[in-house]
């Protein structure tokens, strides 16, 4: 349990205030974490507040050593801790854990203004560049099987090199042109043949 009556009352208040808040985490009755920023936000950070036996008459221990904060530079962490300690001095003798978390939430942008946004991205990019591309599967493509009749028809359409003769798809071009009639341009049958022959 919490060491003194003030701590017990603050613990009950914190549990009530942050009930259902995914950013808040009670590590023990005297130690708490709060994530400032949305999950996935590159400028989000985690604050841990622990109460010594004589808290709130003495300052709580504030830490940013959680693994979650590994992408934040040491200078930014130190700056945040210094600003929080100013707030601690102003609230000494009173329940201040909620105040510290709210102060950090309100000043998140100021705290993190010099933190580069792409720290995580650059690490993942360097990993991606260093790994060779491995094909997902080495499955052979299955060739379509043709019947003897289909093979004979295909052979009749193609020349001895396996290529289709020039103009084999002209009917498709004529169908295509006749489907898409342009309102400002009327095409005569004579013109369609010319278009199909020259490919214009």
| Domain residue limits at 49 | 1-112
In sequence order, the 6+-apart residues with CB closer than 8 A to the CB of 34 are 18, 23, 24, 25, 46, 47, 49, 101, 104
Q: Which of 33-42, 73-82, 118-127 has the lowest mean pLDDT?
A: 118-127
Query: With bands split at pLDDT 50, 70 and 90, how would you rate the model's confidence at 71?
Result: confident
Mean pLDDT of 114-143: 50
Looking at the domain assignment, is residue 191 inside a domain?
no
Tokens of 135: 């094909």
Q: State the pTM of this model.
A: 0.54
Looking at the domain assignment, is residue 170 inside a domain?
no
How far apart CA 116 and CA 6 sit, in angstroms, is 40
Looking at the domain assignment, is residue 169 inside a domain?
no
Task: Please tell me the predicted confidence (pLDDT) of residue 142.
Answer: 66
How far apart CA 125 and CA 130 sit, in angstroms, is 9
Task: Please tell me the predicted confidence (pLDDT) of residue 133.
Answer: 47
Report which of residues 2 and 144 the model is more confident about. 144
Looking at the domain assignment, is residue 153 inside a domain?
no
Q: Which of 26-30, 48-52, 86-90, 116-120 has the lowest mean pLDDT?
A: 116-120
Mean pLDDT of 49-74: 89
Task: Please tell me the predicted confidence (pLDDT) of residue 129.
Answer: 35
Mean pLDDT of 84-92: 90
- Number of independent structural domains in the chain: 1
* pLDDT at 120 exceeding the cut of 60: no
How far apart CA 127 and CA 177 sit, in angstroms, is 52
Cα angle 107-59-113, degrees, rounded to a multiple of 5 = 20
Looking at the domain assignment, is residue 5 inside a domain?
yes
CATH no. for residue 27? 3.10.110.10
Task: Give the position of tokens 């022959």.
Answer: 197
Q: Residue 29, Cβ neighbours under 10 Å: how many?
A: 15
Average pLDDT, the chain: 75
Sheet holding 61-63, edge to edge: 24-28, 31-36, 45-50, 61-63
Looking at the domain assignment, is residue 140 inside a domain?
no
Query: With bands split at pLDDT 50, 70 and 90, how would you rate the model's confidence at 125?
Result: very low
Looking at the domain assignment, is residue 179 inside a domain?
no
Looking at the domain assignment, is residue 27 inside a domain?
yes
Task: Please tell me the predicted confidence (pLDDT) of residue 168.
Answer: 62
Is the CB of residue 35 less than 8 Å from the CB of residue 41?
A: no
pLDDT in tens, 138-164: 556 666 777 878 777 777 776 666 676
Is the CB of residue 14 less than 8 Å from the CB of residue 26?
A: yes
The helix/strand/coil state of 170 is helix
* pLDDT at 123 exceeding the cut of 70: no
* pLDDT at 79 exceeding the cut of 80: yes
* pLDDT at 51 exceeding the cut of 90: yes
């Amino acid at each position: 349990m919490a060491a003194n009556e003030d701590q017990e009352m603050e613990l009950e208040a914190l549990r009530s205030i942050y009930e259902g808040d995914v950013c808040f985490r009670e590590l023990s009755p005297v130690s708490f974490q709060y994530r400032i920023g949305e999950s996935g936000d590159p400028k989000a950070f985690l604050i841990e507040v622990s109460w010594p036996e004589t808290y709130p008459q003495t300052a709580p221990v504030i830490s940013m050593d959680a693994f979650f904060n590994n992408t934040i530079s040491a200078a930014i962490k130190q700056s945040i801790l210094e600003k929080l300690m100013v707030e601690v001095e102003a609230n000494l003798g009173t329940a201040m854990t909620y105040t510290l978390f709210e102060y950090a939430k309100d000043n998140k942008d100021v705290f993190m203004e010099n933190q580069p946004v792409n720290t995580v991205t650059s690490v993942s990019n360097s990993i991606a560049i260093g790994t060779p591309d491995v094909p997902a599967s080495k499955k052979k493509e299955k060739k379509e099987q043709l019947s003897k009749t289909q093979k004979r028809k295909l052979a009749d359409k193609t020349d001895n090199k396996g290529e289709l003769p020039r103009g084999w798809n002209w009917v498709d071009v004529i169908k295509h042109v006749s489907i898409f009639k342009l309102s400002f341009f009327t095409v005569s049958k004579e013109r369609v043949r010319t278009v199909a022959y020259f490919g214009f």
